[in-house]
Amino acid sequence: MAYEQKFELVRNSLISYCKDCISENYERMFDMWLSCEADMEFGHGYQNKFKEHFGDYITDKIEAQLWFAGKNIIYAINSFISLKNDDYELNELLEFVESFVSEQLYDFDNDYDTTEWFNSDNENVEETKEDNPQ
């Protein structure tokens, strides 16, 4: 699978994951969850979703950066809530989070060293050709 396809799968699953986390915790002490547990859920979510598709290319440095990228959602959510003066519906927040994650990942290649990821599929093709010469 090409890098772009893998990245799109990561983006879609990450958006779904974040929206699910928010929806599950929205009705019960949402503020408390945001301040105490959300950082762990989002941080691990970012790491795990990228590892599912780019596991061998996730270095310790990138893993740490993904952790912080996940935590940034909390700042965005708190800003959204503040601007709305607590007058918003869950679906508005979920739309905002989808937009935020999409924008955050849009320029991902410039923020993280992913050059090796682009060639991952080509290396596998070359290895296959070497293993099975025709």
Does the pLDDT value for residue 126 go beyond 50? Answer: no
Does the pLDDT value for residue 111 go beyond 90? Answer: no
Average model confidence (pLDDT) across the chain: 84
CA trace torsion 35, 80, 62, 58 (10° rounding): 90
At 93, the pLDDT band (50, 70, 90 cuts) reads very high
Which residues are CB-neighbours of 74 under 8 A, at least 6 positions away? 34, 38, 39, 42
Domain boundaries, given as residue ranges, for the chain: 3-114
Does the pLDDT value for residue 64 go beyond 50? Answer: yes
Could you tell me which residue, 69 or 129, shows the higher pLDDT? 69
Does the pLDDT value for residue 90 go beyond 70? Answer: yes
Calpha distance 120→133 (Å, rounded) = 20
Calpha distance 64→46 (Å, rounded) = 10
> What pTM does this model have?
0.81
pLDDT of residue 54: 84
Q: Which of 92, 114, 118 is nearest to 105 (CA)?
A: 114
Calpha distance 119→114 (Å, rounded) = 9
Mean pLDDT of 23-33: 94
